[in-house]
């Protein structure tokens, strides 16, 4: 087997997969990737099932070195500068590291999380059916915590499959869509309008459990304590200070604050990618629209293999440069026949 050795990595980076659905009634939080589309895209590029475990790389950079053989990887999610031994690697593509080569990832741009999938997946011992890390609960494999320098991820030797790119829908800054409830009756209509009419920002104190929002105070009609009830990914709960918190993948399975709304599932990954400090808005939609968007999202995930494309190589030879008309005269340093003789007039210029 090969392995990826982590030379350096920033905080908020861990192994994540599709999560642990089906056990919330026992208090087991689902966890899993913050952006399921990006995870699925990276795995599709790597030839894996969509929700195979991959490295969820947080906003900061990271460096991975292949040991014991070549390792084929794929990168999707928040764009960032990336290179393998100096060779540029684009987002939404696959690439292969030769034994001893290092993949270097820069800071995320315009997003928060990127996903590094590995051909054949990451080896680990499933915990309740998943490798997804929940550091607070001590769950996950091969490391039940955020990744750190020196960690080793066991992988398969690269198959030599051709590299691919994947065409994904264009990014959008449209408002994050929400459905009201289940306790929106705990808030006046004016307060609900305030939620929709205001700009919000995600606090830097946010994490995988919840995103704290910075914006106007949302006042309760009857106090902030309710009998604890179930939560979902994207529940927008309002504690006593009136500053909303959107519950994320490592949330508790129940909560005792009124939940004015919930981010629809089709927009959850897009919301999770919003960087701290960037302004955004909410827009309310009907349950029927939310369900229709969920079906569209499921269809997008299903058809990801159809979006794979070959990576075209470009032969920048002399004839190609002439044909492209990118230069008046192209030369080759190793072909004297293309050299241009320099005269005294060329040096001195016109009188």
pLDDT at 312: 77
pLDDT at 223: 86
Query: Vertex 136, ends 133 and 140: CA angle to 5°?
Result: 20
pLDDT one-digit tens code per residue, 206-253: 999 999 999 999 999 998 888 889 999 999 999 999 999 999 999 999
pLDDT at 313: 56
| Maximum alpha-carbon separation in the chain | 92
Task: Write the DSSP assignment of 125-173 as a string of letters.
Answer: --BTTB---BGGGTB-SS-SS---TT-EEEEPPP--PPPEEE--PPP--
Q: What is the DSSP pairing of strand 176-180 with strand 282-284?
A: parallel
pLDDT at 1: 83
Tokens of 103: 């993949």
Task: State the Cα–Cα distance between residues 85 and 82, nearest whole angstrom.
Answer: 10
- State the pTM of this model: 0.87
Task: State the Cα–Cα distance between residues 190 and 212, nearest whole angstrom.
Answer: 21
Task: State the Cα–Cα distance between residues 184 and 259, nearest whole angstrom.
Answer: 7
Domain borders along the chain are: 2-161, 176-302
Tell me which fold the domain 176-302 belongs to. Cyclophilin (2.40.100)
Burial of residue 88, with CB atoms counted within 10 A of its CB: 0-12 exposed, 13-18 middle, 19 or more buried? exposed
pLDDT at position 331 over 80 = no
Mean pLDDT across the chain, nearest whole number? 90
Cβ 220 vs Cβ 258: under 8 Å = yes
Task: Identify the residue whose tokens are 């700009």.
Answer: 199
Tokens of 144: 């039940």
DSSP 338: G
Task: State the Cα–Cα distance between residues 153 and 6, nearest whole angstrom.
Answer: 8
SS3 307: helix
Task: State the Cα–Cα distance between residues 315 and 330, nearest whole angstrom.
Answer: 14
pLDDT one-digit tens code per residue, 250-264: 999 998 999 999 999
88: phi then psi, degrees, rounded to nearest 5 = -65, 140
Backbone conformation region of residue 311, classed left if phi is above 0, alpha if psi is from -120 to 50, else beta: beta
**End-to-end C-alpha distance for the chain, whole angstroms:** 71
For residue 130, CA distances in Å to 78, 82, 114, 143, 333 come to 24, 28, 20, 12, 55
Out of 146-150, 204-208, 327-331, pick the least confident.
327-331
How many CB atoms neighbour CB 304 within 10 A? Answer: 18
Confidence of residue 327 (pLDDT cuts 50, 70, 90): very low
Burial of residue 60, with CB atoms counted within 10 A of its CB: 0-12 exposed, 13-18 middle, 19 or more buried? middle
């Amino acid at each position: 087997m090969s392995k990826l050795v982590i030379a350096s990595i920033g905080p908020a980076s861990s192994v994540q997969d599709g999560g642990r659905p089906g056990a919330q009634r026992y208090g087991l939080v689902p966890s899993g990737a913050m952006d399921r589309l990006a995870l699925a895209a990276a795995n599709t590029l790597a030839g894996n099932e969509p929700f195979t475990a991959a490295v969820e790389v947080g906003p900061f950079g990271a460096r991975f070195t292949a040991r014991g053989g070549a390792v084929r990887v794929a990168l999707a999610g928040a764009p960032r500068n990336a290179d393998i031994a100096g060779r540029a690697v684009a987002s939404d593509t696959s690439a292969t590291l030769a034994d001893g080569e290092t993949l270097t990832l820069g800071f995320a741009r315009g997003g928060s999380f990127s996903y590094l999938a590995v051909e054949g997946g990451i080896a680990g011992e499933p915990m309740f059916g998943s490798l997804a890390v929940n550091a607070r609960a001590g769950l996950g494999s091969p490391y039940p915590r955020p990744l750190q320098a020196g960690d080793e991820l066991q992988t398969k030797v690269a198959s030599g499959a051709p590299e691919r790119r994947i065409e994904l829908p264009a990014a959008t800054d449209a408002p994050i869509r929400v459905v009201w409830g289940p306790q929106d009756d705990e808030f006046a209509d004016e307060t609900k309008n305030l939620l929709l009419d205001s700009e919000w920002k995600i606090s830097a104190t946010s994490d995988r459990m919840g995103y704290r929002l910075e914006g106007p105070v949302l006042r309760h009609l009857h106090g902030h304590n309710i009998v604890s009830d179930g939560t979902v990914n994207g529940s927008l709960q309002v504690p006593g200070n009136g500053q909303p918190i959107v519950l994320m993948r490592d949330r508790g399975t129940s909560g005792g604050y009124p939940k004015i709304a919930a981010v629809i599932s089709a927009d959850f990954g897009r919301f999770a990618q919003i960087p701290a400090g960037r302004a955004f808005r909410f827009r309310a939609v009907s349950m029927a629209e939310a369900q229709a968007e969920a079906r569209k999202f499921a269809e997008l995930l299903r058809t990801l293999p159809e979006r794979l494309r070959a990576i075209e190589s470009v032969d920048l030879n002399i004839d190609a440069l002439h044909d492209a008309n990118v230069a008046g005269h192209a030369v080759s340093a190793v072909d004297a026949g293309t050299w241009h003789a320099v005269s005294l007039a060329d040096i001195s210029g016109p009188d």
